[in-house]
A and B are shown apart, each in its own frame.
Chain A
């Protein structure tokens, strides 16, 4: 026997049917968190009213109280 500790069964494919949903959802929530932190910095404590995003222009407008 070779020095290999484990010789994997070559007839078996260990590919897993994986869903990317939770990873993608976390990425989205983190991005949202960034927007919220930006609103806090720009408008101060409890100062933000709303935020609107123009996706095509890549512009976000923060409305403060």
Chain B
């Protein structure tokens, strides 16, 4: 009789190799998040599990660990759900399994079940930011290649399509780099440690809070502003040199995408709203 498959959480596969992110450290019964100086209190069972997870472990080995230490599987699930919410897991998964999970997400999506996306942290450095942006924009690049191929098959001029797509991707990539780098430089200027968190297509900077909420407002505004300027200026220069208004339109479009970050629903906009309310509350 086959061993029944036990799925601890639906966003991890049995073949995944999971460990704790390097910016998280265990100290007695506390989990230290060095990136924002947070100290989360741990249940003794959580301390035991996270101590074990300091080294990469196959998810398929978790049930036997839980059984050996008399820990409920649901408890392990609660721990990893929390860790994933703060980008605290490091998951190694093959490309085949990434594709398998993508299909699984789509199938579950059809039933209205949303499988959370894996979040991961990247090294707090320029190279870490470069890798994070490249990874998060990889799906965009694949989509562009497919649309280019479809455009060729439809009969549109291939050389034009490829050149516009390349310019589009390069401006998206570089303006996102400037957007996030602006947040990082402001944090570093105030001696705040930071970390880069990538969750699928979404990319963000997590850093210690500023004591003065005014700096939070400045930082939340400065990132999108940097992105908008870096989307517009190169596109306008290129458009002027080549005499092509469509390039300017591409720059304007990407600048618009950056301004969406200022909407109050999430990201920069939500932080801006929160910080502005606190600042007004302090002044009032």
Chain A positions within 8 Å of B, measured between CB atoms, are 1, 3-9, 11-26, 28-30, 32-33, 36-37, 39-40, 43, 45-50, 65
Contacts and interface: CB of A to CB of B under 8 A. Distances in A.
Which residue among B172, B209, B254, B274 has the maximum number of chain A CB atoms within 10 Å of its CB?
B172
Contacts of A11: 38
20 contacts: A5-B43, A5-B45, A7-B40, A15-B270, A17-B205, A17-B206, A19-B203, A19-B223, A19-B224, A19-B267, A21-B258, A22-B136, A22-B172, A22-B203, A23-B202, A25-B137, A25-B257, A28-B253, A29-B143, A43-B154
Q: How large is the interface on B (under 10, 10 to 19, 20 to 34, 35 or more residues)?
A: 35 or more
Given A4-B43, A19-B176, A36-B150, A14 B86 contact: yes
B179 interface: yes
Interface stretch (B14-22, B61-69, B74-82): B74-82
Query: Which DSSP category, helix, strand, loop or mixed, fits chain B's interface?
Result: helix
Interface of B: 31, 33, 36-46, 75, 78-79, 82, 85-86, 136-137, 139-140, 143-144, 146-147, 150-151, 153-156, 168, 172, 175-176, 179-180, 183, 197, 201-207, 209, 219-220, 223-224, 227, 253-254, 256-258, 260-261, 263, 266-268, 270-271, 274
Given A7-B40, A32-B147, A47-B154, A18 B268 contact: yes
A13 B209 CA distance: 8
Nearest to B36: A12
Given A21-B261, A43-B154, A16 B206 contact: yes
